[in-house]
Amino acid sequence: MKARTMAAGLVAGAACAVASIAGVTSASADVNPLIVGGVDADQEYSYMVSLQQSGSHFCGGSLISPEWVLTAAHCVEGTDASAISARIGSNDNTSGGEEAQAAETIIHPSYGQETAGDIALVKLSAPATSAPISVAGSADVGTKSRLLGWGQTDPEPGGSAPTALQQLDTSVVDAGECTGIDGTKELCTENPGGDSGACYGDSGGPQIADGKLIGVTSRTGNGDSTCATGPSIYTSAPAYADWITENTGG
């Protein structure tokens, strides 16, 4: 599985966000990760978003303003906004929270043209009432963080995915520990214990630090189709703050 494809599938499960996994309907092929080695979320996250198609979770996202969700480009590439809905602020991706319809998607223009750029915006058809999360100003090596998602909890491709939100505490490590990464625009995120991290279905979901958004689940950091055998790569939200502001109006 190519690194870019793997990235599209890690979407929800615990602390690793990486690619798409069988058993979860995806808006585009290979987009559905779960967190491996995580635990059930110990609190509710008002900004946590389950992007869905035909009522099934396919990717994660973060509500960054009442009208906008930040996710991974590979999650929405090739999919019309009319086919995407969002469940916001619930730890269960099948019920609760508030539901919204997507009205527009904006994919970063560099996606597919360079190593980084796996980031996209989804505009909602009406403002959400849930509290959004702010984008952090920076995310340096050593930053302690938490991964959130509904991706596979089984590291092998095609594993089952939970409906209960997973979380995993981890940290940002030196970019040199990941392969195929742009260290100026992406975060290399450790896999605690060598067996925990993002997986298929976690894609697009948040990496948070001190209550702010630092990363968007993108792909595996070692090219292995089995999740959590190495670090995960997250698109750096701070690195794209200007682009986000330009397209959302702040």
Q: Could you tell me the CATH number of the domain that includes residue 155? A: 2.40.10.10
pLDDT digits (tens, 9 = 90+) for 28-58: 333 333 478 778 899 999 999 999 999 999 9
Q: Let me know if residue 1 belongs to a domain.
A: no
Indicate whether 176 and 199 sit together in one domain. Answer: yes
Indicate whether 149 and 217 sit together in one domain. Answer: yes
pLDDT digits (tens, 9 = 90+) for 190-249: 999 999 999 999 999 999 999 999 999 999 999 999 999 999 999 999 999 999 999 999
Q: What is the mean pLDDT of the segment spanning 11-36?
A: 38
Using CA atoms, how far apart are residues 45 and 23, in angstroms rounded to an integer? 25
Q: Let me know if residue 233 belongs to a domain.
A: yes
Q: Cα angle vertex 119, ends 194, 151, to 5°?
A: 40
**pLDDT for the residue numbered 86:** 98
Indicate whether 122 and 142 sit together in one domain. Answer: no
Using CA atoms, how far apart are residues 173 and 179, in angstroms rounded to an integer? 13
Cα 34 off chain centre by: 10
pTM over 0.75: yes
What total of structural domains would you count in the chain? Answer: 2
Indicate whether 138 and 235 sit together in one domain. Answer: yes
Indicate whether 116 and 141 sit together in one domain. Answer: no
Q: Let me know if residue 17 belongs to a domain.
A: no
Active site positions, annotated? 74, 118, 203
- Domain limits at 63? 48-132+242-248
Q: Let me know if residue 11 belongs to a domain.
A: no
Indicate whether 128 and 139 sit together in one domain. Answer: no
Of the two residues 39 and 115, the one the predictor is more confident about is 115
Scored b (16 or more CB within 10 A) or e, 40-76 reads ebeeebbbbbbbbbeeebbbbbbbbbebbbbbbbbbb
Indicate whether 204 and 233 sit together in one domain. Answer: yes
pLDDT digits (tens, 9 = 90+) for 152-175: 988 888 878 889 999 999 999 999
